[in-house]
Amino acid sequence: MLDFIWYAAAFAVTLGILVAFHEFGHFWVARRCGVKVLTYSVGFGRAIWSRTAKDGTLYQVGIIPLGGYVRMLDERVDEVKPEDKAVSFNAQSVYKRFAIVAAGPIANFILAVAVLWLMFGIGVPTVKPVIGDVAAGSIAEQADLQRGQEIVRVGNVEAYDWQQVQLGLMSAIGNERVDLVVSSADGQQRLKTLDIDDWQFDPETESTFGSLGISVYQPAVYTELAQVMEQSPAAEAGLQAGDTIIRADGIAIDSWQQLTDIIASSPGKVLNLLIQRNSEEQQISVTVGEREQGSDVIGYLGIVPKTEPMPEDYVFNHQYGIVGGLMKGAEQTWSLMVVSVQMIGKLLTGDVSVKNLAGPLSIAEGAGVSAGNGFVYFLSFLALLSVNLGIINLLPLPVLDGGHLAFFVVEWARGKPISEKVQDICYRIGAALVFALMVLAISNDIVRYAF
């Protein structure tokens, strides 16, 4: 229940910020073009807050945080006094109307730059994309990728962390191959070409690099215990820090992963452990605890393994000054825009399944998780959504900003606007397509979280 409240609150805040900036873009340019703005609304439905300014504009927050609007004086829908015709939207030149409509998506791109500028100014704790184990028979092994190599570039994307690696690989989905530049311990950079013509990737269950057989580098993990949590099943059974687990129910333990798999699959069961303590072996029986993980119940003991420290040069704070942060924010925004357009193209060509479309539940979870991980991670998620909102609104569907812009381009080319009848037909078709996409995205959410 607490997770639901957290996700809902993060979703409302995230969408509120994105919508407020998008609509402010329309609002600000409309005012600069001399158009009278009647209403500036963040959210739909009944207003939970409103105020009418001296200039007559109604500012409000709607109860449904799934969008917003800027209502401008328009002779096509309003009764306009003769003295107000000059300040109505439809009376403006095609160039001004184009600028007003385009300002919404542009505001989202500007927001993304500003948010990433702030993020890079604060600094992002980052782990370098150093390759861990490479799965036998995988695409990565066939390309001769090796443990300890650092991924420097994926295609045209600079890979300073694993998120950038993911971004570069996402843009390569549907291609026959993708080039990786890797750096070895000797400092030499090498070009590796991955054959991804038969690449199978399920974003619901794995990462892009994981599906290629690449794992994230992790320091060595031992079966010796570094910590036993207080009041845990392990503490109640008498396990102590410094104990080394040798066997579990007669099975020789060769790795920490093997032990965690046994524990996770044994909720509520009694495990007979053979441990080594102070050079002596002894038997300890422990009742495995139970906890929920999604729809499953898994076992836990409350133990932490001894690990090698992460090499200092593998971890860094990705931070820039004022000018550098602004440039990096703009560069990252452009990369996100390019990948977003590519992904839309791949959805249309079938290279990416429509099952990957995310609905409000997925967005709410992403907002909640990123906010829970820390402010800089929330900023990164906010920038990604802002770019996506801007790109989607530029699609040439009549109910979206891009559809209006397409009408303006045709009007400019032919010297007169498209007839109201044709526009009405286009709006109906566009509304049906957008509604179908929304139903598909929500259906994906239902399948994702209910089954």
Catalytic residues: 23
The pair of structure tokens assigned to 165 is: 């690696």
What tokens does 204 get? Answer: 């619901």
From residue 75, how far is each of 36, 80, 84, 310, 404 by CA, in Å? Answer: 12, 6, 10, 66, 17
For β-strands 157-158 and 150-154, DSSP reports them as antiparallel
Query: Which residue carries 């109307």 as its tokens?
Result: 97
- Spatial distance between the Cα atoms of 114 and 325, rounded to a whole number of angstroms: 9
CB atoms within 10 A of CB 24: 18
Determine how β-strand 315-318 pairs with β-strand 124-127. Answer: antiparallel
Biggest CA pair distance of the chain:
98
Handedness of CA 133, 135, 140, 143 (dihedral sign): positive
Q: Using alpha carbons only, how large is the chain's radius of gyration in Å?
A: 28
What H or E segment, with its residue span, contains residue 8?
A: helix 2-32
Please, is 349 exposed, middle or buried when counting C-beta atoms within 10 Å of its C-beta (0-12, 13-18, 19+)?
Answer: exposed
**Cα angle for residues 222, 226, 228 (degrees, 5° grid):** 125
Sorted by sequence, the CB contacts under 8 Å of residue 106 that are 6+ apart come out as: 25, 390
Helix pair 360-373, 420-450: axis angle to 10 deg: 60
User: Angle at the Cα of 105 (from 90 to 121), degrees rounded to 5?
Assistant: 145
d(CA 168, CA 154): 5
